[in-house]
Structure 1
Amino acid sequence: MTREETKELIAENRIAVMQAYVDGKQIQFFNEYTWEWENIHTPNWLRDTSYRVKPEPKYRPFKNADECWQEMLKHEPFGWVKEKERNVRTQIGFMHTKGIQGTSGGSSNYKAFFDCFRFADGEPFGVKEE
């Protein structure tokens, strides 16, 4: 890779991070004294400082009813979920080995619920991976 290609790549990444900041994403800078990424609320965009968009936590679908139940206990209002695409809420009727049934009668597996719903408090309907 040439120096010019490298400069362009650096510029593109900086622009992407700046655009993420404009879009409201949390920006981090690399602190060379602590060797850790730290949140910054108003970046200065200094040339010798590395910036990035704070990585989003990763979630996965529930494996079974017990795992789903344990996570549901952490969210209020208990047992309620909302669709990601529409402002529609439903209550979970019951959970079984392979999936969930809502009180509205719809039933699906844990992966489908993970893809379509969030907890009513806005958190992803799944398990946070460490």
Structure 2
Amino acid sequence: MNRQQAKDLLPIIQAFAEGKTIQQAGRRGWFDVDSINFDLCKYRIKPEPKYRPFANAEECWQEMQKHHPFGWIKKTCGDCNFLHIMELYSTGILINKVDSFGSFRNLIKTYDSAFAETIFADGTPFGIKEE
């Protein structure tokens, strides 16, 4: 192994040590591996799925039906508040938030801001997975 090969393999080894999935090139494409051999195999860090914000209410509704508990999202920053989706609009959502005093507040979020600030209650991104 030369220095350039070591530089190329270093991020793979780091990701492997951190518990990320590593893939090896094969005849039929990439496949997950449980160990790394320092031979002539090609390795990569398994790509993370890409998500995007919802384009409209119909797209949001279809995706919401796949997640449980239905209609609940969670903030990704700050306090870990769960929010209930009350209504869907063409450009965003109306959510019901309980503040620290136990009072309810309604907030309107665009699909872009909801994608950036929340996830579904089951932990998956609040958006559409792109294939």
Q: Which moved more, 1:78-87 or 1:65-74?
A: 78-87
Q: Which moved more, 1:65-74 or 1:7-16?
A: 7-16
User: What is the CA-CA distance between 1:22 and the residue it aligns to?
Assistant: 1.1
Aligned with 2:88: secondary structure? Answer: strand
Aligned with 2:69: secondary structure? Answer: coil
The structure 1 segments of at least 4 consecutive aligned residues displaced by more than 4 Å after TM superposition are: none
Partner residue of 1:122?
Answer: 123
Amino acid aligned to 1:57: P
Partner residue of 1:97?
Answer: 90
CA shift digits 1:44-67 (9 cap, x unpaired): 2x2301111001111110000110
1: CA distance, partners of 2:66 / 2:93: 18
Amino acid aligned to 1:56: E
Counterpart among 47, 56, 62 of residue 64 in structure 1: 56
Q: Structure 1 stretches of 5 or more lacking a match?
A: 1-6
User: What is the CA-CA distance between 1:37 and the residue it aligns to?
Assistant: 0.6
1: CA distance, partners of 2:41 / 2:126: 36
User: What is the CA-CA distance between 1:9 and the residue it aligns to?
Assistant: 4.0
User: Percent same amino acid at aligned positions?
Assistant: 41
2: CA distance, partners of 1:11 / 1:76: 44
Note closer, same or farther for the CA distance 1:78–1:19 as it changes in structure 2 (3 Å cut).
same
Aligned with 1:25: secondary structure? Answer: coil
User: What is the CA-CA distance between 1:8 and the residue it aligns to?
Assistant: 4.0
1: CA distance, partners of 2:9 / 2:16: 11
Residue 20 in structure 1 maps to residue 15 in structure 2: yes
Judging by fraction of residues, say which structure has more strand. 2
Q: Report the TM-score when normalising by structure 1.
A: 0.86
Aligned with 1:106: secondary structure? Answer: strand
User: What is the CA-CA distance between 1:35 and the residue it aligns to?
Assistant: 3.7
Q: Report the TM-score when normalising by structure 2.
A: 0.86
1: CA distance, partners of 2:55 / 2:25: 36
